[in-house]
A and B are shown apart, each in its own frame.
Chain A
Amino acid sequence: MRGLSIVAEGAGRYIHWGVIQISQTNLIIIGVMVLLFVLALVVPFPSGHGDHRDEQGRGR
């Protein structure tokens, strides 16, 4: 009997650059992470500064 179908999926898409090879999916994940990091740094955070500010320290 011919064996079960073992090789259901071969390799996905890979990007090669010198000694580096990385899957397209992993590269996208890393790219999205870097993008999120940059966005987190530059996108303003709504903080309503000025109002409800407690001028003294020592919050309760």
Chain B
Amino acid sequence: MTTHADETASEATTDTSNWTNWLRTKIVGLVPPGQALPDRQPVYVASWIYVFGVLTLASLVVVIGSGCVLAIGGSAWWHVSSLGHYVNSVHLWSVQLLFGFMVIHLWGKFFMAAWRGERALTWISGVVLFAVSIGTSFTGFLAQTNFDAQWIGGQAKDGLNSVGVGAWFNVLNPGQMLMWHIVLLPLVLVALTAMHVILVRRHGVVPPIDAALEG
């Protein structure tokens, strides 16, 4: 590797053994230029069904935000404080909205066959997000430290134990379940969401079925 003292800082090197170069190239290459946050979109994107993806994303933000407020008070706060109980209600209802919008988004994307045009991974990541969301809400119910948590834990253990998973993932351990709920699973959810959105921006919104380009 030779160095050129007269190169200015703004000129990127092309040294392929440089890890920074490699990472920058990968990041910049995730999405076509200008498509990360484009201010134009294809003319066929003109239906209310398209808003359910962004509504799902917005719901996730409110879910995490209300969860953060709950974390300020701790896991027992909502039992002893009316403000805490209200924040818990916001968390519960934002989760209901999250699932409602997510499923409508799924219905829409299915009937649009949105996996076409090499978008299979977008579809797959969406289904995985759905499954992980269910798991995350499940750990949330287990972390409630009330009757519901007692009952759900007692029931769910049978399902998980029957396939050997319960030996590792103990639903009767609220401490473990809470930490999966507030640390591990949200990290997975956010990472998968980022991947899903990047894939949408990378490939663009899927064209209509049987669309042909003019001219």
Chains A, B in direct contact (C-beta < 8 Å): yes
Mark A residues whose CB is within 8 Å of B.
Answer: 6, 29, 32-33, 36-37, 39-41, 43, 45, 47, 49, 53-54, 57, 59-60
Residues of chain B within 8 A (CB-CB) of A53 are: 43
Residues of chain B within 8 A (CB-CB) of A41 are: 47-49
Closest residue of A by beta carbon distance from B213: A57
A60 touches B46 (CB 8 A): no
Residues of chain A within 8 A (CB-CB) of B29 are: none
Min Cβ gap B40→A in Å is: 5
**Partner of A37 from B33, B40, B107, B147 at Cβ < 8 Å:** B107
Min Cβ gap B201→A in Å is: 12
8 interchain pairs, CB-CB under 8 A: A29-B96, A33-B103, A36-B100, A37-B108, A40-B49, A43-B48, A45-B48, A54-B40
A47 touches B34 (CB 8 A): no
Residues of chain B within 8 A (CB-CB) of A32 are: 100
A49 touches B43 (CB 8 A): yes
Closest residue of A by beta carbon distance from B42: A59
The 7 closest A-B pairs by CB, nearest first: A47-B46, A40-B48, A40-B49, A60-B34, A59-B40, A45-B46, A37-B104
B100 touches A60 (CB 8 A): no
A6-B147, A29-B96, A60-B34 are known contacts. Are A45 and B104 too (CB-CB below 8 A)? no
Could you tell me which residues of chain B, from 129 to 174, have a CB within 8 Å of some CB in chain A?
147
